[in-house]
Every structure is written in C-alpha cells, then in structure tokens.
Structure 1
Amino acid sequence: MNWKRIALAGVITTLLSTVHGFPHHEASAAENKTIQVNIDDEQVRLTASSYLERGTVMVPITMLHKLSKAQIQWNNASKTVTVQMNGQSFVLNPGVAKVSYAGKLYNLKEKVQLINHRVMVPASFLSEISDSSMRFDKMDQILYLTTNRYYTMTAPQHGEIQLQAAQVNKYDYVKGMNLIINGESHPFTSWEGMWNWSYKPDIYVEDLTNDGREELAVINTLGYGTGLMEKDVHIVNLHNHKEIPIESFEDIIKEQIDSTITTQDGKVTVSLKIKEQEEIKHVLEEYTGNPPDYFYSELGFGAIVYYFIDNGQLSARLGASASTVTFSGDVIIDYKYEGGRFLADKVSYTSYQK
C-alpha cells in the first residue's frame, strides 16, 4: 500500500548576543538591572550580582568556580586576584583590559572592575577560558552558559553508564554519540538528536528482552515544531555493546495498516484496517465543510512519532494525519523481542473523535 509521510523539517534558531564594554571604578551597580545566570540549564547564585551596562555582561570572577576547576585567591593589600586552573595561572588587577593565560593574550571586552569589593569581569572572558558556550537573552535578561559537562549524561541509578555527545552544532543538534561503560567508550556515529534545555536524550536501563539481563535504551528527539514531533529509539546489548535492530514504524504501517479518507456530503470519513482486525470507521465531524482536496486520500504517518518505555515494554505512538494540520487519532505499536530484534507485537488505533 502506498502511504503519505509528512516530512519533518524543524529549524531551531537561537538568539546570540555579543557583549561590549563599560568603564571600571569602585562603585555600586545598583542602578543596573540584575542579570540572571543559568549554567547547564540551572539558575545559579553568585557571590555578587551580575549586571549589564552599555551591552556588557559583567559577572564576579568567582563564577569561574561553577564553570571549571579553578583556585581563586584575593590579595587585599594589592587588590589583585590570582587564578590557577589547568596548571596555569593569571593575575587580574582592576583596570586591566588584557590578560595573558596559557600562552594566549586575551583582549577583554571591558576592563576588570572592582565593585563593592568584588572583582567583576566580562562573562565572555570566563566563557572563553573555561571552554564554555554562552548566549545572552536581552529580552529576558538571562545569561546562559553551557559547559562540556552538559553534553555528558549518566544513566539513572547506573553511574558506570554515560552517554556523551560527539559533535554539537550551534543549534544544539548532536551528530554521533559515545556510550561510555566503566570508562570504555563505544561510538555510535549514526545516532543524532536535540541536546538543549527543552530536549535531551531519555536513557533507560531495563530488561527489555525478558532474558533477565538489562539493556540500554536511548530515545532521541530529532526535531519539533507546531504539530510536529519526531523521535527515534536505540537499544544496546550491554554485554556485547551492539545495537539491537528495531522494526521501523514505516515497515509496520506498510505491512499492517490500510486506510482511506473519503469526503462526501460535507463529511470526512476515515476508514482504517489493521491486519487481522475489524475495520474502524469514524467521521471527522469538526472538519466538515472543508474542500475535498484539503484532506489526503489515506492517513499519513511521520509528523508525530513518540517512543516510550513502561515496565520493560517498548512502544511507539504515531499521530495519524488526515491533512497537513488535521490528526484523526493515534496508532500505538507495542514491540516484542524475537529472533534477535524488536518486532511489532500489537498494533492498535484510537481516534480523537469525541
């Protein structure tokens, strides 16, 4: 049977802001609105309030503790700060605009300031020396920083199992992931998905094959948007570190489901037949009156694809599309492990009809 699949094309855009400078002095920044700082998706409290003036985000030097392993020492007599990290050190003096660290000269976007006995530096400088990514949301006045730790996840209750992003683009889309078990890395170059504050991989360690041994399951989000959500799933044998094949929903739909959509007398009727089950027929009453070419001739699948695991059961939920903006119901696929792979065990359909 020929069937339509709605292609998912999601573009995740991010507002990136640069920072500029403002003069140094010992003074109060109370007149400036405090900037919220989030590191790795969590709001953090700093030893002094960060602030923005003339486009420059200024933060206390002590924020470096939250980005990297560093030792920071304050010399009250000379009013200087000495920072040691990665076997290297540098000194900050109020008023300086250049810092030499690890053989590189950094031109600060604004001079170091001493504000209420706190050494303040441009956030971009700390982001750069700690190898963290940074963006500033001007509208919400939130500074976001992401460390390398953010791109490594640990399986719940299994500290010996970690998932690590291999390559991350500027939209936080990951291509390739490394499975680390007891310190040994196993690359899976074909895995990909979102890795940001909204969507990160879901990791499960459960007995999915009913053999008394646990497997690893990783569910990734490939893209999302209005009326669109596409996920995929990978299951790995934790003993030989090989991925277990999973029958694709496309093959299952092609093999087990026939459907038609008819428009007559102002009514749109969906008919769906699952292999070896009785035909299901229902009317999309809320969409009566639309022109016939508004609807497909048969249901399409691919715009909404969820995978989930419940008590060791792998299942999928597929949105059944009657048009580019209309869903008639859900197809649920329950999988079983057989012959070295996961195959469809039970397929069912539930309409959205009230």
Structure 2
Amino acid sequence: MKKEFGIVVLSSILWLVGCSDHQENSQKNENSSTEQWSMQPKQEAKESIMWSSENNEVQLTPKTKVSDGFSGATVAVNNMEKEFNWDFTSITEPQVYYTDLTGDGKKEVVVIINTGRGTGLTTEEVHVLNSEDLSEINVQPFEDIISNHFGSHITKKGENLDIQVIVQGTEQHLNVVAQDPLVEQEHLNFGGVVYYKLDNQKLTVVLGTSVGVSPQYVGDVYITYQFDEAKNEFLAHQMKFVPLNK
C-alpha cells in the first residue's frame, strides 16, 4: 500500500552562499563559496579535467563545460570507454569508485555526481556500471522507495508541529517548533537534500525530510541498497529515520 508524501520539485537551483547547517554536516569536503549564476557560451571541457578512482582504474572525463558545471561525460575502464549524457555541477567534484558492489566477485564502476546546489539544497545522482561492457545497472529511485515504505502525517498545534513518521511499519513521533508559523502541510517533503555514500561495499542514500517552502529540516531517512541478481537492480533493503537534534 502506497503512502502519501511530499516531493520538493527542483525546477531550477541558483548557486548561492550559506547552505543550512544540515546540508553542511551532510556533505564532506565542500567549502562555502559564493557562485554567481550567469549565462555563458558552452565550451569543450579542458582535457586536463578528469576524476579517477582511488587506484586510477576508472577515469571520468567531462565533455562540455557549461555555466554551472558540465554536460556529458566519458567513463573509461579496462581499455573501454563510453559517453554518458550526465549533467552535473562544478561546485562538488564527482566521486569515482571501482569496487564489487553486487557481491559477484567482479568490480563495478560507481559514479556519484552533484546535480544541484543552493541554499538549503543539495542533490546527487548515482550511476553503477558493469565494468565489462559499461552498461548501467538500475538503482531503485528514492521516490519509489518513499512512496511504498514511508508514511508521515503532520498535525499543527499552535506554533508546534506534531509529526508522525512510519518507516517499514515502525512508528515514531517528534514535536517541532515551526520556523514559519504559516506553514500548512500534511506530509513531510523530500527532494531538497539527496546524497549518496559508499561504505564497506554498501550503497546508501540519505534523504533530508523537511517542512515549509524554505525548507526546515526535521530529520534524515537512510536507505541502504542490496543487489537483486534476478532483477539486475539495486533495491531498498534497510531504512531508518533519524530526527535532527535528538
């Protein structure tokens, strides 16, 4: 049974200074900076720009430099290379890994790219490639996982919000003072903070949950993936909700 939930639509993001504390704690190796968005002609990326896995088995080279990042990229591994139509920002460098993520004894290429960054917002994509032919292995979208395994309901009590969260049948309650006294919504929002991490050959996505148009983050949902050999897909295996400031 599907649960109702809110999704923050990122139709456009300006690269601004001063991300929220939640965002700063979520991202590693990122420095605060002011980025002024401006229209500039597209140009081919310099050949010297390249990112590699730890031991240089995999190389990721951007194709075209655009005003806010790069459009298109080439992945090279095992004397093969393939071009992908990935768009990503230049604010955060891509993460490139070469590891056995499926558990079959063969290593896969894993690329994590930043697709949007702004005040209180940061979004990433993950791409897992078969290193034998560079075909992409599907990773279950977080929207599908939230829709089927996460439920929330918000009750407003004066300036306070009573938030009920249900994750895989486990219920939690938290009480939050609303930063915006006019906020009106029944369910938590998702989509403003989405970042992936790879740890001990496990892929996890962390989702910020928020209320309000100017997002007030109240907690994080951690989803750990597991490879389904029959479906040739990474599916949600474990989920947990962790309230902020608790």
| TM-score, with length taken from structure 2 | 0.80
Taking the aligned partners of 2:108 and 2:159, their CA distance within structure 1 comes to 51
AA in 2 matched with 1:342: F
Q: Is the 8 A contact 1:301 1:318 kept in 2?
A: yes
Amino acid paired to 1:280: Q
Task: Give per-residue Cα distances to partners, 1:228-285, cap 9 Å, x unaligned.
Answer: 000010000101211000100000000101101111244211101112x32111100x
Deviation of residue 176 (structure 1)?
A: 1.6
Partner in structure 1 of residue 53 of structure 2: 155
| Alpha-carbon distance between aligned partners in 2 of 1:200 and 1:255, rounded to the nearest angstrom | 32
What residue number does 1:112 align with? none
Identify the residue that residue 216 of structure 1 maps to in structure 2.
109
Match of 1:193 among 67, 73, 88: 88
Do the aligned partners of 1:261 and 1:322 also contact (CA within 8 Å) in 2?
Answer: no
Q: TM-score, normalised by structure 1?
A: 0.57
Among candidates 326, 334, 348, match of residue 224 of structure 2: 334
Residues 264 and 11 (structure 1), Cα distance of their counterparts in 2 relative to 1, 3 Å cut? closer
Partner residue in 1 for 2:132: 239
- Look up the SS of the partner of 2:191 in the other structure: coil
Q: Is 1:344 aligned to residue 236 of structure 2?
A: yes
C-alpha separation between the residues in 1 aligned to 2:185 and 2:122?
A: 20
**Alpha carbons 2:221, 2:241 under 8 Å: kept:** yes
1:347 maps to amino acid: M
Among 11, 15, 36, the residue aligned to 2:14: 11
Question: Would the aligned equivalents of 2:209 and 2:220 in 1 still touch at CA under 8 Å?
Answer: yes
Structure 2 alignment gaps of length 5 or more: 17-42
Aligned to 1:181: 77
Q: Which residue of 1 aligns with 2:190?
A: 301
The answer as to whether partners of 2:192 and 2:208 remain within 8 angstroms in 1 is yes
- C-alpha spacing 1:183/1:207, structure 2 compared with 1 (3 Å): closer
One-letter amino acid of the counterpart of residue 203, structure 2: L
User: Does structure 2 retain, via aligned residues, the 8 Å contact 1:282–1:353?
Assistant: no
Task: Indicate conservation of the 8 Å contact 1:201/1:221, yes or no.
Answer: yes
Cα contact 2:161–2:178 (8 A) shared by 1: yes
| Partner in structure 2 of residue 101 of structure 1 | none
**1:226 matched to which residue of 2?**
119
1:259 aligns to what?
152
CA distance in 2, matches of 1:179, 1:266: 51
Higher relative contact order (CA 8 A, sep 6+): 2
- The one of 140, 148, 170 equivalent to 2:67 is 170
- Tell me the matched-pair count: 214
SS of residue matched to 1:158: coil
- Rounded to whole Å, the distance in 1 between the matches of 2:143 and 2:55 is 34
Deviation at 1:164, TM superposition (A): 1.2
- What's 2:173 paired with? 281
Shift in Å at residue 167 of structure 1? 1.9
Which entry has the higher C-alpha Rg, 1 or 2?
1
CA contact (8 A) 2:61 2:73 kept: yes
Please report how far the alpha carbon of residue 147 of structure 1 lies from its aligned counterpart in structure 2 after TM superposition.
4.2
Contact 1:164-1:177 within 8 A present in 2 as well: yes
CA distance in 1, matches of 2:88, 2:116: 7
Q: Is the 8 A contact 2:100 2:106 kept in 1?
A: yes
Tell me by how many angstroms 1:318 deviates.
0.2
Task: Return the letter of the residue paired with 2:194.
Answer: V
Call closer, same or farther: CA 1:177–1:264 in 2, change over 3 Å: same
Q: Which runs of 5+ in 1 are unaligned?
A: 14-131, 134-145
